[in-house]
């Protein structure tokens, strides 16, 4: 293993962002990658090899799957590792009372509970291996409390709080945790949902991957932070919230 390589677990590797993280990891250095996804069918991912292993059909809200993932991590990594949590259902802007209760539940479970479950299952291994870093995605909507985003924004607020709690509880073991508060990311779903958006100035999934790997290289004493990611966007700074996000009435 060269000096730049790391042991990295990517949760949600089947998502567009997760796949971009995995491809960037293989392109920039010979990292040892464990890729976990909920579905059996993954998007564009590195081919399996001695240094890349895919674990499919992992439900991070299911305890037996979490324990299976813990066993895979113990077997695949031979030292400290980093965990990148790229998990969470997509949100379409709409008022709270016009959101199905099942969708509210999915926001809490997919964004927060999956991270809490992953921490529960994998912190014991990080302690055994004397360190590691957890990176999870929050959203800049927490700072503004926008309308039509309540279930999503509150779930992301829970993500930030969990990251800070983990940082405080486990720093003595060399474990650090960071949340990235993201603006709009230029994914395929976003391009469909925001056809009038400032697409060229949204952060690409490749740009986000570079940011994540910069965070992974930080010393463990940089801990418990919410790092806000910004990029100038004409629609964000020169139009109203409802112009940027047409209200969806259902």
Q: Given its phi and psi angles, is residue 122 left (phi above 0), alpha (psi -120 to 50 degrees) or beta?
A: alpha
Summarize pLDDT for 202-249 with one digit per residue, the tens: 999 999 999 999 999 999 999 999 999 988 777 777 777 787 777 777
pTM for the whole structure: 0.93
Does some domain include residue 250? no
Quick check: is 2 in a domain?
no
Domain containing 73 — which CATH number?
A: 3.40.50.720
Structural domain includes residue 105: yes
The whole domain housing 196 covers 7-244
Domain membership flag for residue 27: yes
Q: Whole-angstrom Cα distance, residue 130 to residue 138?
A: 26
Count: domains in the chain: 1
DSSP code per residue over 73-134:
HHHH-SS-EEEEE----------GGGS-HHHHHHHIIIIIIHHHHHHHHHHHHHHHTT-EEE
The reply to whether 124 falls in a domain is yes
Within a domain: 107: yes
**Nearest residue to 224 (alpha-carbon basis) of 183, 170, 163:** 163
Residue-wise pLDDT for 45-65, tens only, equals 889 999 999 999 999 999 999
Which residues, including other chains, have CB under 8 Å from residue 241's CB and lie 6 or more apart? Answer: 146, 147
Domain membership flag for residue 249:
no
């Amino acid at each position: 293993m060269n000096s730049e390589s790391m042991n990295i677990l990517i949760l949600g590797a089947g998502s567009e962002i997760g796949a971009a993280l995995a491809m960037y990891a293989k392109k920039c250095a010979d990292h040892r990658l464990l890729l976990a996804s909920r579905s059996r069918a993954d998007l564009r991912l590195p081919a399996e090899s001695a240094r890349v292993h895919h674990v499919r059909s992992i439900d991070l809200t299911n305890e037996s799957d979490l324990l299976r993932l813990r066993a895979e991590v113990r077997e695949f990594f031979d030292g400290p590792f980093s965990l990148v949590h790229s998990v969470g259902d997509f949100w379409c802007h709409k008022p709270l009372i016009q959101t199905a209760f099942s969708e509210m539940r999915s926001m809490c479970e997919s964004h927060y509970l999956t991270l809490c479950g992953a921490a529960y299952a994998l912190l014991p291994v990080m302690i055994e291996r004397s360190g590691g870093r957890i990176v999870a995605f929050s959203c800049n909507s927490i700072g503004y409390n926008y309308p039509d985003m309540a279930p999503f924004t509150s779930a992301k607020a829970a993500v930030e709080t969990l990251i800070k709690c983990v940082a405080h509880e486990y720093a003595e073991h060399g474990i650090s945790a960071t949340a990235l508060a993201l603006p709009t990311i230029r994914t395929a779903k976003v391009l469909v949902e925001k056809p009038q958006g400032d697409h060229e100035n949204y952060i690409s999934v490749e740009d986000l991957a570079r940011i994540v790997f910069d965070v992974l290289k930080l010393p463990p004493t940089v801990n418990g932070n919410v790092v806000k990611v910004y990029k100038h966007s004409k629609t964000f700074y020169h139009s109203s919230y409802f112009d940027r996000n047409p209200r969806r009435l259902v």
